[in-house]
Structure 1
Amino acid sequence: MTVEFLEDLEELSSAEDFLDYFEIEYDQTVVFVNRLHIMQRYHDYLTKGQDALPEAVAENEEALKAIYKNLLTRAYLDFVESDALTEKVFKVFKMHEPQTGFVSVESLLES
């Protein structure tokens, strides 16, 4: 990756900073309510996509910026079109789903 691009990203601290940097139009109300969810989803998209980046793209700053912008736009739109409870980005939202587990009879008898 290009050093200058990474340095630019290190200077950003809020969801609005990222959206402004990539020149993505946004509704302040959506960001206010979902900022942590948007940023976590963006991080998740980046993490999943890192391994799939061809080295040629990783070395091309403009191509890399376009990919990062696309992923942030996608993360933001996830919460324009849905909500945090439905998207379940954080573990706390998944805790109320039915939990299944298996305990063998042998392990019960051992204790």
Structure 2
Amino acid sequence: MINSSPAAGILDRLGKASSAEEFFSLLGVEYDAKIVNVARLHILKRMGQYFAEEQFAGAPEAEIRARCKAMLEQAYSDFVASSPIEQRVFKVLKDAVAEPKKSAAFVPLSELK
């Protein structure tokens, strides 16, 4: 379980979260369990992408919390509107589009002798 003492900053608390549900709980974001059950890793990966674009140095705790909440809400809404396959946040899914598999040519059994 996460240390929920007021002394722990939200970034520290998120860093110790062990499930997507904990992220939603810590930031007070409502969610549909059906969506999270299907796209939990995708949502957290997308939030991480948004997070990487942020600068928190010197920001007050309340602002950091609000920005983290907004990032999670945006990441979640990305997957409410479309599927993990359509969003393609993981490399394996991106590569599947970039390099479609080539179908093998048919070789009749008679030619394998």
**TM-score normalized by structure 2?**
0.74
Aligned equivalents of 1:92, 1:80: Cα separation in 2: 21
AA matched with 2:37: F
Gap runs ≥5 in structure 1: 100-111
The alpha-carbon distance between structure 1 residues 72 and 6, as it changes in their structure 2 partners (threshold 3 A), is same
Aligned equivalents of 1:31, 1:5: Cα separation in 2: 21
Kindly, what percent of the aligned residue pairs are identical? 37
When Rg is computed on C-alpha atoms for both structures, the one with the higher figure is: 2
Matched, 1:69 2:69: yes
Aligned equivalent of 2:87: 87
Structure 1's consecutive aligned runs of 4 or more residues displaced over 3 angstroms after TM superposition are: none
Aligned equivalents of 1:36, 1:98: Cα separation in 2: 22
Moved more, 25-34 or 7-16: 7-16
- Among 39, 44, 51, the alignment partner of 2:49 is 44
**TM-score normalized by structure 1?**
0.75
Describe the SS at the equivalent of 1:20.
Answer: helix
- State the 1:49 CA deviation: 2.0
Gap runs ≥5 in structure 2: 1-6, 100-113
Aligned equivalents of 1:65, 1:29: Cα separation in 2: 25
- State the 1:72 CA deviation: 0.5
Q: How many residues align?
A: 93
Describe the SS at the equivalent of 1:25.
Answer: coil
CA deviation digits over 1:29-77, x for unaligned, max 9?
0000000000000001000223xx5x4xx43000110000000000011
Indicate the structure with greater helix content: 1
Describe the SS at the equivalent of 1:49.
Answer: coil
Matched, 1:8 2:13: yes
- State the 1:4 CA deviation: 2.6
Describe the SS at the equivalent of 1:18.
Answer: helix
